[in-house]
Amino acid sequence: MAVRKITEYPEAVLGQVGKPVTEFDEALAELCADMYETMYEAEGVGLAAPQIGLNMRLFVMDCEGVKLIAANPEIIAAEGEQSGQEGCLSVGKVPAVVVRANKVTLKAQNEHGEWFEETAEGYAARCFLHETDHCNGKLFIDHLPKMRRDMVVKRFKKEKRW
Ligand code: NI
């Protein structure tokens, strides 16, 4: 296992739609182990492959008791609304309030290629949406009005200079 370097905004891979995962082999299991190690080291609750520079539809998460590997993730149901703080390891964890669906069903494949569905609410649902967005080349700041988005980016760049 190894901690990988986290890709940061505005690196191009973060804005690309990921390629589907097609091989469910030992290499994928090792990659997921590295992603977990990288996520825990950075004290995050989710990490998607583009965040370690890989253009793949894959994420890992461990958020409020929901721990899973999701390859080729899709959000198949979403209801309600929540408004809460969100941040991203690729944007220096600078927080911003993002409105999201409150109850979300994720459909994805595990590391063996088996399809599953998982429904979560609140923060874990937010994590499903945030990480699936990463697989589609979208960041949480893309959900913000331009002025608030610019503020997050400005603060991130300022902190980076330290
Ligand atoms: Ni993120």
Average pLDDT over residues 125-143: 98
Taking residue 17's Cβ as centre, other Cβ atoms within 10 Å add up to 11
**From ligand 1's centre to the CA of 112, what distance in Å?**
24
What pLDDT sits at residue 123? 97
Task: Output the CA–CA distances (angstroms, integers) from residue 107 to 16, 37, 115, 140, 142, in the order listed.
Answer: 21, 24, 7, 20, 23
- Identify each DSSP E strand in 6-57 by its residue range: 46-48
What is the per-residue pLDDT for 40?
98
Residue 160: its pLDDT value, please? 85
Beta bridge partners of 79: 103
Q: How far, in Å, from the CA of 88 to the mean position of ligand 1?
A: 4
pLDDT band at 87 (very low <50, low <70, confident <90, very high): very high
**Cα 83 to ligand 1 centre (Å):** 17
Report CA(22)–ligand 1 centroid distance (Å): 23
- Tens of pLDDT, residues 24-48: 999 999 999 999 999 999 999 999 9
For 117, the enclosing helix (H) or strand (E) is strand 115-121
Residue 10: cis peptide before it, omega within 30 degrees of 0? yes
User: How many angstroms separate the alpha carbon of residue 114 from the centre of ligand 1?
Assistant: 25
Q: What pLDDT was estimated at residue 161?
A: 80
Ligand 1 centroid – CA 72 distance (Å) = 17
Say which DSSP state 113 is in.
S
117 is catalytic: no
Statement: residue 162 has pLDDT above 80:
no
Q: Which CATH class is domain 12-160?
A: alpha beta
Strand partners, 40: none
Other Cβ atoms closer than 10 A to 22 = 11
The single residue of 23, 111, 131, 159 carrying the catalytic annotation is 131
Residue 70: the pLDDT is: 98
Task: Kindly report the average pLDDT of the chain as a whole number.
Answer: 97
Q: Are 98 and 144 in contact (CB under 8 A)?
A: yes
Write out the two tokens for 4.
Answer: 């990988």
Residues with CB under 5 A from ligand 1 (ion): 88
| pLDDT of res. 131 | 98
Structural domain spans, the chain: 12-160
d(CA 28, CA 146): 37
Q: What number is the average pLDDT over the span 144-160?
A: 95
Residue 11: is its pLDDT beyond 80? yes
